[in-house]
Structure 1
C-alpha cells in the first residue's frame, strides 16, 4: 500500500505528474546507475585501460540485465548504498568481463552521475512547462492589456492598473526563471568520476583523460575538480525549484483572492465537479491554486534542507549527502505538480472584465485621489494639494458621497483643475492607468500574437 502522496493512488496526480515520477522511479534510478557504469567501461576502453571486448560485454549486460530487486534491496539495506550490490549483479551478468565493472570508481561517483542524469532529464520537463506558461501568460497579457481593474496594496484598493499589466508582472518572473535555468545547467550538469578521496589515485596517470571521456560518453561536462563534498550545484537546483514554485504561488495567491466572492474578478477553468463541495452546491473552490500553494510550501522546506545538506565533512560526508536522496526527487515532483496546475489554471482562466470595472467604482472615486492631487499640484503645490484632497476624501468616506461631488464644492480645487468637468475626468479610474500598457508591451515584446 502507498504511504505518501507521491505514490498514492488517490493523490499522486495532484502532487506530481506521471512523467516526472517516471524519471525518479526506482527502475529509472537503477537504469541511470547502469548507464553510468556502462559509460565508464566504454570510456576506459577508449583510453586503453579496459579491453574493448570487456567494455562491450559490460555495456551489453547493463542494457539487458534483469535486476533482482529484492536482492538489491536487501543488500542495499545491509551495505547502506546501492552501488556495491548493483555491481555484484552487473558483474555476474557480464561474465568474464565482470572483473572490469566499476574499475577505479567509488560509489558516490556513480550515484552522483546518475543523479545528474536524472536532474538533466527533469530540467527538460521543467523547461518545457516554463516555456508553455510563458506563451499562455503572454497571450493573456496582450488580450487584457487595456482592461482596467483595481490595483491593491495591503489588501486595499490603491490605484487603477490593467489586468494585462498584472499578468505581465507574472510573466516577467517566468522570463527570469527561464534565464536562471539556462545558467543553472552550466553549473550543475557535470559527471563525477574521481575515486575514493576524489584524487583519482586508483587510476593515476591518464585519470583526467579517462574522466573527460567518461563525461563525453554521457554528454556531461567535465568538472574542474571533484565535487563529492561541494554540493552547491545540487543545492542550487533545488533552490531554483523553490524560486520557480514561489513565483507560481504568487500567481496562485492573486488568482485565489480574485476568485473570492467579494472580488469575483476571475475564475479557474470550469470542469464538472472540480472544486465542488460535499455540502454546498454553489461552491467552485480554487483547487489548482490550492495545490500550487501546497506544493510551493513543501518545496521551500526542501530548499532549507538542501542548504543544510551542503555542510559536508572532509572528503566524504557522514550523512548530509543522504538528504539529497529525499529532497531532490520530491522537489522535482512537487514542482511538476505546481507547473501542471498553473498551466491548466491559466490556460483556461475565466476573466470577468465587467466585475473588474465594477470593483473600480466601489470607492466612488477614492481610488484615484492621487490623480486629483497630482493634477492640482502644479497650481497649488504638491503638499497643499495633498492636504486639500485628503480632507475631501475624509468627507467622502464619512458622508458616503462620491469624491468628485465633494471636490466640486471646493472652489480653490475647481479653479486649480480648470472646472468641474476636469474633476470628473480626474476622478475616472480608467483615465489613470499610468504606463500599464507600455510596461506590458515591454514584457510581451513580439510574443503573444498567436
Structure 2
C-alpha cells in the first residue's frame, strides 16, 4: 500500500505518470544495475582485462528476473547499498565466470551509472512531453494572435495585448527550456567508472580504455575525469526539471486566475465530475492548473536539496549522495505529471473572447491612457501630457464614465487630437505595439 503521493493508488497519477514510474521503478533500477555490470564485463573483455569467454558467459547468464527479491531487500538493508547483494546473486548465476563480475568497480560506479541510464530514459520522456505541450501552445497562440485582451501588471489593467501574445510568452520559455534540455542530455549523461577512489588504479594502464568502452556500450558520455563527488551533472538535470516546472507553473497560475468567476476569460476542459465540490454543485475547479502549480512548488525543493547535496567530502561523501536517491526520481515524476496535466489543459482550453473584450471595458477605457498620453506628448510635452491624462483618469475613477468622453470635454485634447483621433486612440485594438510581430516570431520557430 502506498504511503506517499508518488506510490499512492489515489494520487500517483496526479503526481507522476505510469511511463515515468516505470523508468524509476525498483525493477528498472535493478535492471540498470545488471545492464551496467554486463556492459562492464563486455568493455573489459574488449580491453583485454578479463577473458572474452567469461564476458560471454556473464552476458548470457545475468538475469535480473531470477534475483531473489526478498533476499535482495534484506541484504540491501544490511549492507546499505544494493550493488553487492545484486552482484553476489549474479555471480551465482554465472558460475566460474562470476569471479570476473564487477572487476575493478565500486558500488557508486554502478549505482551512478544505473541512475544515468534511468535519467537518459526519463529525459527522453520529458523531451517528448515538452514537445507535445509546446505544439499545443503554438496552436493556441496562432489561433488567438488577434484576440485582444487586457494586459495586467500588479493584477491591474495595464495595456491591451492579445491572448496569443500571452500564450507566446509562455511558449517562448518552454522553447528555451527545450534547448537547455538538449544541451543537458549531451553534457550531463555521463558514465561513472573510477574504482575505489576514482583513479582506476586497479586496472593499471587500461582504466581509461575500459571507461571509454563502457560509455560506448551504454550510450553515455565518457567524462574527462571521475565525477563521483562532483555532482554538477545531476544537479543541472534536476534544477532544469525544476525550472521547466516553474515555467509550467506560471502557465497554471495565469490560467487559474483567468478561470476565476470575476475574470471568466478561460475555462479548463470539462467532463462531468471534473473539479467538482462535495458541497457546492456549481463548482468546476481548475484542477490541472492547481496540480502544475503544486508540482512547481515541490520541484523547487528538489532543486534545493540537490544543491545542498553538492557539498561532499573528499573522494566519497558521507550522506549527501543518499539524498539524491530520493530526490532524482521524485523530480522526474513531478515534472512528468506537470507536463501531462498542462498538455491536457491547453488542448481543451476554452477561451471566451467576448468576455475578454468585455473585461477590457471594465475601467471605462482607462487601459488606453498611455496611448493618449503618448499621442499628446509631441504637442504638449511629455510631462504636461502625463499630468493632463492623469487628471482625466482620476475623474473617471472618481465619477464614473469613460476616458474618451472625459477627453472630448477637454478643449486642449480635442484641439490636439480631434474627436476622431480620440476615438481611435481609445480603441484597444489600435495600441498593440509589436505584440503581433513577436507572437509570429515565436510560433514560427517550430518544435
Separation in structure 2 between the aligned mates of residue 165 and residue 223 of structure 1, nearest angstrom = 42
Alignment of 1:70-219 (within 5 A): 70-219=70-219
Q: Which residue of 2 aligns with 1:442?
A: 441
Give the gaps of 5 or more residues in structure 1: none
Match of 1:430 in 2: 429
Tell me if structure 1 keeps the 8 A contact 2:30–2:64: no
Aligned to 1:366: 366
Counterpart-to-counterpart distance in 2, 1:400 and 1:146 = 29
Partner of 2:303: 303
Matches within 5 A, 1:406-421: 406-417=406-417, 419-421=418-420
Q: Structure 1, residues 111-170: CA drift from partner, whole Å, max 9, x if none?
A: 010000000000000000111111111111111000000000000000000000000000
Q: Deviations over 1:222-271 (max 9, x none)?
A: 11000010000001100001100000000000000000000000110111
Distance in 1, Cα, partners of 2:446 & 2:422: 38
Aligned mates of 2:245, 2:386 — CA distance in 1: 41
Query: Is the contact between residue 235 and residue 307 of structure 1 (CA under 8 Å) also seen in structure 2?
Result: yes
Residue-by-residue CA offset, 1:394-436 (whole Å, 9 max, x unaligned): 111111011111111110111111x112111111112111111
Task: State whether residues 152 and 159 of structure 1, in contact with CA within 8 Å, keep that contact through their aligned partners in structure 2.
Answer: yes
Could you tell me whether the CA contact under 8 Å between 1:65 and 1:93 is conserved in 2? no
Q: After TM superposition, list the pairs within 5 Å mapping 1:2-21 onto structure 2.
A: 2-21=2-21
Instruction: After superposing the two structures, state which structure 1 stretch, 57-66 or 384-393, moved more.
Output: 57-66
Separation of aligned partners in 2, 1:339 and 1:43: 38
SS of 2:125's partner is: helix
SS at match of 2:379: helix
Report the Cα offset of residue 64 of structure 1. Answer: 5.9
Deviations 1:27-79 (A, max 9, x none): 11000000000000011111111111111111122246511111111111111
Give the whole-Å Cα distance in 1 for the aligned partners of 2:107 and 2:74: 17
* Distance (Å, rounded) in 2 between the aligned partners of 1:183 and 1:435: 31
The match for 1:326 is 326
Q: Counterparts of 1:158 and 1:60 in 2: how far apart (Å)?
A: 68
Show the 5 A alignment for 1:271-350: 271-350=271-350
Normalised TM-score (structure 2): 0.99
TM-score, scaled relative to structure 1: 0.98
Greater shift after overlay, 165-174 or 43-52? 43-52
Tell me how far apart the structure 2 counterparts of residues 314 and 234 of structure 1 sit (CA, whole Å): 18
The match for 1:399 is: 399
Question: What is the distance in 2 between the residues matched to 1:174 and 1:127?
Answer: 11
Matching of residue 238 in structure 1 with residue 262 in structure 2: no
Q: Is the Cα contact below 8 Å between 2:242 and 2:296 reproduced in 1?
A: yes
Task: Provide the rounded CA distance (Å) in 2 between the counterparts of 1:237 and 1:446.
Answer: 25
| Secondary structure of the structure 2 residue equivalent to 1:149 | strand
Q: Write the distance in 2 (CA, Å) between the matches of 1:374 and 1:64.
A: 72
CA distance in 2, matches of 1:306, 1:446: 33
SS of the aligned residue for 2:151 comes to strand
Distance in 1 between residues matched to 2:179 and 2:331, nearest whole Å: 20
- Rounded to whole Å, the distance in 2 between the matches of 1:133 and 1:274 is 21
Aligned residues of 2:258 and 2:265 also touching (Cα < 8 A): yes
SS of the aligned residue for 1:230 comes to coil
Residue 157 of structure 1 aligns to a residue whose secondary structure is strand
Structure 1 equivalent of residue 31 of structure 2:
31
- Secondary structure of 1:335's counterpart equals helix
Q: Shift of residue 446 of structure 1? A: 5.5
User: Runs ≥4 in structure 1, deviation > 6 angstroms?
Assistant: none
